[in-house]
Structure 1
Amino acid sequence: MTETTEADQLADRAADVTVSAPEILGRGFMSYERYEVSLRRDGEPPLLQRRDVVRAGRVAAVVPIDLTRDTVVLIRQFRLPAHFATGRGDMVEVVAGRVEDGEAATVAARRECIEEIGIAPERLIELYSVLPTPGFTDEQITFFAGFLDSSAVSERGGVADEDEDTQPFVVSIDEALAALGDGRIANALLYSALQWLALNRARLPELFNRAV
């Protein structure tokens, strides 16, 4: 019998599961699907579940950093679900967007920067990936650090045919990190990105040299 270590306990792993073909509940910008699931654990009878999933797919998110000025570029964008949840739908966010079918996440990251803040990073490095709401959607977000000249950022961004309207702005890294603790921001992607930045700020010159 193989002994389970603490490291093993802390790692996500494949499940012994059978999943039905999807029942399409609705289609819009994303697909809303229902599945019948049979989950097996350690010789116990199968656990039968019915689960509804929003098929959102892959997302690339970018923390645009200006090492010379010690600043980050963020955006402001309206989010209807946030409006419903908190009444503060005009959210502060990092650059982020869908990775198209067949597209590399790095390509999507550069494209989203051009679309949302008007400039592509001079260098880009992949950081980590997360599933923000795995009980509801298969959305997988890959974060990047993008190094750029923040003085070249546009005053307005967004893709017109997607009804997207983003308002880029530049703030000091100190001010961005201060916003983590005082309730000004609620966007999970921004929280995750700023927490990473707080933990890795001293390594930014090293990451810049490794970026491509």
Structure 2
Amino acid sequence: MQNSKVKILKTEILSDNWYTLNKITYEKINSNGSVQTQSREAYDRGNGATILLYNQDLKTVILTRQFRLPTYINGNSDGMLIETCAGLLDNDNPEECIKRETEEETGYKISKVEKVFESYMSPGSVTEILHFFIAEYSKEMKTTNGGGLEEEGEDIEVLELSFEDALAMIDSGEIKDAKTIMLLQHVRVKKIM
């Protein structure tokens, strides 16, 4: 559904190296009826999915740790970030994507996932919608060591943490990733663990 109060006037590609950075000029009718022309940059990297694996019996969760350049250049001294497993959809539906990413990154082969919500993660500049999932895991589901795909340059450490330790890592600042905080808090608020 298109907004009749917004008209795209021009789209310029500023970069299409890794993903696509567009400069978009548009007209918008404001709430007072005035017409305003603005230009904004929007980064299109596609949509993605993320998942928190949890074990109710052990009261544990599976997280990952990997190097994230943007955090490094913005003050994260070693660039390492603790996160939930995630990936871009790459033309898959969100459920199939997250099952694939879970096995690649964590080594756990899961068959049943529960979608809990969707979110724009940085709507002022990034077009991405992230699909959030949770799923139970057990030791029997571990099929590989995980770690990501070498051909994609991934070097991912798999972490199994107690749920309480993971929550404490938010308070201590060890976990600063928004999607991870959102999923841990979801599990906490819904009293899943």
Q: TM-score, normalised by structure 1?
A: 0.83
| 1:31 and 2:50 correspond | no
Residue number in structure 2 paired with 1:89: 79
Q: In 2 relative to 1, CA 64–196 (structure 1 residues): closer, same or farther, beyond 3 Å?
A: same
* 8 A contact 2:108–2:146 mirrored in 1: no
From 154, 178, 181, the counterpart of 1:188: 178
Residue number in structure 2 paired with 1:165: 155
1:88: how far off? 3.9
* 1:174-195 residue CA offsets vs partner (Å, 9 max, x unmatched): 1111222122221111111111
* 8 A contact 1:72–1:150 mirrored in 2: no
Residue number in structure 1 paired with 2:6: 17
| 1:80 and 2:69 correspond | yes
Q: Distance in 2 between the 1:42 and 1:64 partners?
A: 44
Q: What secondary structure, in the 3-state scheme, does the structure 2 residue paired with 1:190 have?
A: helix
User: What letter corresponds to residue 59 of structure 2 in structure 1?
Assistant: D
| Runs of 4+ displaced beyond 6 Å | none
Moved more, 150-159 or 179-188: 150-159
Task: Tell me how many residue pairs correspond in the alignment.
Answer: 190
Q: Distance in 2 between the 1:153 and 1:133 partners?
A: 34
* 1:113-135 residue CA offsets vs partner (Å, 9 max, x unmatched): 01100122242100011111111
Residue number in structure 1 paired with 2:94: 105
| 1:70 and 2:59 correspond | yes
Moved more, 104-113 or 82-91: 82-91
Q: Distance in 2 between the 1:169 and 1:155 partners?
A: 11
Unpaired runs of 5+ residues, structure 1, are 1-13, 205-212
* 8 A contact 1:153–1:168 mirrored in 2: no
Structure 1 vs Structure 2 CA RMSD? 1.9
| 1:144 and 2:146 correspond | no
Report percent identity of matched pairs: 24
1:69: how far off? 1.5
1:100: how far off? 1.4
From 167, 174, 177, the counterpart of 1:177: 167
| 1:56 and 2:39 correspond | no
Residue number in structure 1 paired with 2:121: 132
| 1:115 and 2:107 correspond | no
Larger helix fraction of residues: 1
1:43: how far off? 5.0
Q: What secondary structure, in the 3-state scheme, does the structure 2 residue paired with 1:44 have?
A: coil
Q: In 2 relative to 1, CA 182–61 (structure 1 residues): closer, same or farther, beyond 3 Å?
A: same
